[in-house]
A and B are shown apart, each in its own frame.
Chain A
């Protein structure tokens, strides 16, 4: 049982593993480097658009500054730091992974992890009591040739419930 869970996690992990790698942005020309950096900065006077995409005058001036710095041979990090020094962290489109902003990164991971733990323990709690008493008698529904389960009400439902269910369904459709 456990090995199968592990195998399942492994398959899921194999698909998720690549997401750990950063996106590689290839920027060769000055033009492209300028634009790539401008895309990482938020236009300070507009809502939500980047320096690269904003039509505002300020964004235009900032693009000129970035371009000059790229031409002068400054690195991406230096240029970004230059703007952070002047405008603060809020200029970054991607929240920094430090200070208060670290909370925005960590909380979803923590919540998802805690949720997974809760789900796991709830599932185990649901499975175990039954296993001791009934498993041997419980009808185990195997899958058909084509791997699908039946669409019928569960076979162990009381006959009256099943009839009532069918009747409800009929009434609903008429």
Chain B
């Protein structure tokens, strides 16, 4: 069985290598058969990788402990869903998952674009297969998931207890697929560079793939935060851990990219810059995949220790080198078609957006690798913890929030000053008003939080006025009622209004994050049975510890009665779990009670022989809006990529702009 999977991986590597060369060669030498065989090669790779993945999955589900990876990451008493999830619970398996999803996405892209420009697509497929060949090389010869055990054990070692959670089923596959999916925009960029077809064509094609990649990686990040919140038991959802930061950076660069390609699409500008952005996004995705799977940030030395380290280093060098050379060779063809008309334009505000995003990514990257830098320079490792990131990234993020209100309303090319005042004056006042009212409600001790709230108010007000004026104008123009006008407005301008919905989602996330991190309150207490603690309007009474056993795990739980305003409203049961083989690192299971205004978050931290137990209890305000905001942003993305149902063969005659509301 192990051999079967191994052979499939090596075969996929061979086919990928063939495809890399055969595709462009077939085009150059005008041998259609060769080109077609390369096209088919992409599908063959997908089939082979699927065979390898199904083989590993089968090995997990049938408890085939002759395979080292299966023996080290699962055990017989694990629930079936987790055994399946253990597939990506370790290094080799997650690399296999990465490569497998890449093979599937490559096949989908090849099929969707089968009628697109043949030469461009040949190079796009080649680029995809270069990445594929690298990963299959790793899987085949360096970090094989199909390595055999010298002696077959009776049972496996089980999974790291931190991964025993619902989040484990969703978070890693989304995150890894998010990293992977940035390969596709990168492949299009390389295809465009290699063929010299640098017009807006590749940008238009890549937009949807980039949005999908952006969404998958975004969901991966969001699920990571959700998992951390539920499992790690420290009351927060984001710790600026290197692994988290590495997943956040490509997403931020990707966000800059999906904004700035609009300028290239519309105005033929920023061609070089967009190339750089998509290359950086891909580079950071590979870097992130590596960081997630190696622990390199903990020490410079682990670079050498991890088996895959040197390979990733070589591959990253190859990516950067090739990208820069190609970019340099094509520089003359990447000249802008247009020039900028005014600083007061959408273009200029998008450029500022790009500056802030790239500056933010730089700050995060620098803070993430600084421990390594200081270790190399000075010999001692400086710790760069969350306070650094919050202080440096916070202001940049607030700047981005403000821009989120300005950018979408800025006219292309040049805005007239009079209109800009009319446009931004009222929303700015509303934002200021919201900040002041919030200050009166919660106090002025946290000016940063008020700045966030004010910026959010500003953004919502700009989007609100946009929708309001658009709906009214459409109502007058078509005679539809207001609800239908609003629906029509959105469905006929899905890109624009999808973007607004995403922005509203981001506003919700910003509010949730700010409230939960800056207005968190906490209590620690050691309680004897019958004693209680109060926090906010809640009163928790400890009713004693319980103990029970489930397959493979011993659970100690604490029973707490929750009172509010003198009435018992709920019971909270936090526990600690001792998994077999991992008794020394018990995992916590947090009791969380969510309301629209706040989460009550109860952690059992320890107990004594006299029956008393220690707790840490948090009130995290507005956390639920963080998760809801993520969902809103996702639905906005769906609206934005929804295919336009109207065939538009002929450009409508120029309509006076003021009337062109329905199409604006």
Contacts and interface: CB of A to CB of B under 8 A. Distances in A.
B239 interface: yes
Contact of B651 (A18, A53, A138, A152): A152
A158 B122 CA distance: 30
Given A21-B448, A88-B380, A104-B382, A119 B351 contact: yes
A91 B446 CA distance: 27
Interface in A14-46: 15-19, 21, 23-24, 26, 31, 35, 40, 42
Considering residues A152, A171, A173, which has the most beta carbons from chain B within 10 angstroms of its beta carbon?
Answer: A152
Contacts of A53: 234
A150 B649 contact: no
A73 interface: no
Q: How large is the interface on B (under 10, 10 to 19, 20 to 34, 35 or more residues)?
A: 35 or more
A2 B414 CA distance: 15
B392 interface: yes
B210 interface: no
Contacts of B201: 168
Interface stretch (B123-131, B178-186, B593-601, B656-664): B656-664
A142 B416 contact: yes
Nearest to A112: B359
B435 to A, nearest CB: 9
Contacts of A123: 340, 343, 348, 351
Interface in B51-81: none
Interface string A93-137: 111000011011101100110011001000100110110000100
Interface in A137-174: 138, 140-155, 162-163, 165-174
Nearest to B363: A108
B450 A150 contact: no
B111 interface: no
Given A15-B402, A115-B358, A100 B660 contact: no
Interface string B177-214: 00000000000000000000000110011000000000
Main secondary structure of the interface of B (DSSP, over half): helix
B583 to A, nearest CB: 13
B448 A23 contact: yes
A144 B363 contact: no
A66 interface: no
Contact of B384 (A95, A149, A165): A95
Contacts of A174: 647
B417 A4 contact: yes
A70 interface: no
Interface string B382-406: 1111111001101110110110000
Contacts of A172: 204-205
B649 A165 contact: no
Contact of B496 (A112, A143, A151): A151
Contact of A173 (B266, B367, B384, B644): B644
Given A126-B339, A145-B469, A19 B398 contact: yes
A100 B651 contact: no
Contacts of A24: 445-446
Considering residues A94, A144, A174, which has the most beta carbons from chain B within 10 angstroms of its beta carbon?
Answer: A144
Contacts of B346: 149
B451 interface: yes
Considering residues B205, B394, B644, B664, which has the most beta carbons from chain A within 10 angstroms of its beta carbon?
Answer: B664
B343 A108 contact: no
A127 B342 contact: yes
Interface residues of A, number: 79
Given A4-B344, A146-B469, A115 B495 contact: no
Nearest to B390: A23
Interface stretch (B97-105, B166-174, B370-378, B619-627): B370-378
B660 to A, nearest CB: 5
A162 B298 CA distance: 54
B650 interface: yes
B522 interface: yes
B454 A15 contact: yes
A26 B521 CA distance: 10
B205 A91 contact: no
A103 to B, nearest CB: 8
Considering residues B402, B411, B455, which has the most beta carbons from chain A within 10 angstroms of its beta carbon?
Answer: B411
A12 B455 CA distance: 10
Given A154-B266, A167-B649, A170-B648, A94 B388 contact: yes
B334 to A, nearest CB: 15
B355 interface: yes
B87 to A, nearest CB: 25
Nearest to A174: B647
A90 interface: yes
B366 A104 contact: yes
Contacts of B644: 173
B343 A95 contact: no
B447 A21 contact: yes
A155 B654 contact: yes
B428 interface: yes
A35 B525 CA distance: 12
B352 interface: yes
A72 interface: no
A90 B340 contact: no
A47 B663 CA distance: 54
Contacts of B451: 15-19
B92 to A, nearest CB: 22
Contacts of B305: none
Given A108-B366, A141-B414, A150-B660, 6 more contacts: A15-B458, A19-B395, A24-B445, A48-B385, A90-B383, A169-B648
Q: Rank and list the top 3 A-B pairs by shortest CB-CB distance, nearest first.
A: A18-B447, A93-B385, A146-B469
24 contacts: A17-B451, A18-B447, A31-B524, A48-B242, A94-B388, A95-B388, A104-B366, A111-B359, A112-B355, A115-B355, A135-B341, A140-B341, A141-B414, A142-B419, A144-B657, A144-B661, A145-B658, A145-B661, A146-B469, A146-B470, A146-B661, A147-B423, A148-B496, A163-B651
Interface of B: 115, 200-201, 204-205, 234, 239, 241-242, 266-267, 298, 336, 338-344, 346, 348, 351-352, 355, 358-359, 362-363, 366-367, 370, 373-374, 377-378, 380-388, 391-392, 394-396, 398-399, 401-402, 409, 411-417, 419-420, 422-423, 428, 431, 445-448, 450-451, 454-455, 458, 465-466, 469-470, 473, 493, 495-496, 518, 522, 524, 586, 605, 643-644, 647-652, 654, 657-661, 663-664
